Amino acid sequence: MQPTGQLLILGNWKMHLTQQAAGQLAATVAALKVERRVVVGVAPAFVHLPIVADMLIGSDIWLGAQTCHEQPEGAFTGDVGAPMLADMGCRFVIAGHSERRQFHHETSVQVRRKAEAAIKNGLHAVVCVGETPEQRESGTYLNVIEKQLRESLPIAGRDKLTVSYEPVWAIGTGKTATSADIEEVHRHIRTVLHDLTLRHAALGNAEVPRVLYGGSVKANNALDILTLPVVDGVLVGGASLDPSAFAAIIKAAEASASNRNKVM
Ligand code: PGA
């Protein structure tokens, strides 16, 4: 899928919905007409993967998971391995979402192992990085993000890797980062990725991953965010549960993608 000018719009449904509601939402998303310049995916809770997979049959919408275990299988009660997700029809896995880093104490090294497990099983890994409110206020955020990137990104399989910048203070808070905030951090992320990619070019992994933004993306701010040339798509939480808001975000991506093509 790698950077082709296509924008990636991913919905993270988190721990929401009943089976029936997840199926209905998936059916609505599956029925959306999405232009080829935009790739859309949804990540329901594990228990809803089968119903959502069924509803997405015949559509181009990607099925994804919100996390995976770093090992392919074994005695890991309550966990789900990447081979199981691939078998279920998943195309992507989110790794290192701040809610996992915070509530499950996932370290960047674990996040890298999860991303590696996903890629090894043919899935795209969406690795999240982002600073806490305290780190933003103390002015250390660029260093924090750089460290997360250097520790969380897998070396192999760059063509299946996406990074998502998710400032913790903007997630679920209704506070969106400003365009200037997003540009500053995305530029820094790109510099680090460039450096890492150069360092690993000798290993044959010269692809530069896509960089998404996530954090209170809504119908009314999606166009501003997606118009930024440093943004390759968005990871949407709350608004992805509202079919009309999610559809509006996809429309914003289509509008931005068509303008980008004109510029190119
Ligand atoms: P939000 O979540 O859109 O509800 O802020 C974003 C995320 O968790 O990626």
**pLDDT tens, residue by residue, 139-175:** 999 999 999 999 999 987 788 999 999 999 999 888 8
Nearest protein Cα to ligand 1, atom 7: 237
What is the pLDDT at residue 201?
59
Q: What is the DSSP string of 225-264?
A: HHHSTT--EEEESGGGGSHHHHHHHHHHHHHHHHHHHHH-
Poorest-confidence range of 61-70, 142-151, 176-185, 192-201?
192-201
Contact 223, 252 (CB under 8 A): yes
Contact 215 CB / ligand 1 (< 6 Å): yes
**Region 237-261: what's the mean pLDDT?**
94
Contact 112, 154 (CB under 8 A): yes
pLDDT surpassing 60 at residue 263: no
Contact 23 CB / ligand 1 (< 6 Å): no
Q: Which atom of ligand 1 is nearest to the CA of 98?
A: 8
Q: Using one digit for the tens of pLDDT, what is the confidence trace for 23-44?
A: 999 999 999 999 999 999 999 9
What is the pLDDT at residue 71?
97
- Alpha carbon dihedral 222, 178, 131, 162, in 10-degree steps, equals 40
* CA dist., res. 74 & res. 26, Å (int): 31
Q: Using one digit for the tens of pLDDT, what is the confidence trace for 222-242?
A: 999 999 999 999 999 999 999
Instruction: Give me ligand 1 centre to Cα 65, in Å.
Output: 15
Q: Which helix (H) or strand (E) holds 110?
A: helix 108-120
**Region 92-119: what's the mean pLDDT?**
95
Look up residue 217 and give its two tokens. 């993306």
Residue among 259, 197, 251, 249 nearest 228 (CA): 259
Poorest-confidence range of 45-49, 89-93, 168-172, 224-228?
168-172
pLDDT surpassing 90 at residue 264: no
Contact 12 CB / ligand 1 (< 6 Å): yes
- Alpha carbon dihedral 106, 107, 113, 114, in 10-degree steps, equals 30
What is the pLDDT at residue 2?
44
Contact 59, 39 (CB under 8 A): no
Pairing of strands 62-65, 161-165: unpaired
pLDDT mean across residues, the chain: 93
Instruction: Give me ligand 1 centre to Cα 97, in Å.
Output: 10
CA of residue 126 relative to chain centroid, distance: 4
Active-site residue identified among 97, 116, 124, 254: 97
The reply to whether 166 belongs to the active site is yes
Residue among 140, 156, 229 nearest 196 (CA): 156
What is the pLDDT at residue 172?
86
Contact 145 CB / ligand 1 (< 6 Å): no
Q: Which atom of ligand 1 is nearest to the CA of 217?
A: 3
The reply to whether 194 belongs to the active site is no
pLDDT surpassing 80 at residue 192: yes
Percent of the chain with pLDDT over 90: 84
What is the pLDDT at residue 200?
64
How long, in residues, is the chain?
264
pLDDT surpassing 80 at residue 198: no
Residue among 80, 180, 164, 77 nearest 121 (CA): 80
Give Cβ neighbours of residue 157 (< 8 Å, ≥ 6 apart).
Answer: 116, 119, 120, 125, 205
- Three-state DSSP string of 42-94: EECCHHHHHHHHHHHCCCCCEEEECCCECCCCCCCCCCCEHHHHHHCCCCEEE
What is the pLDDT at residue 146?
97
Residue among 58, 46, 132 nearest 94 (CA): 46
Residue among 136, 128, 18, 116 nearest 71 (CA): 116
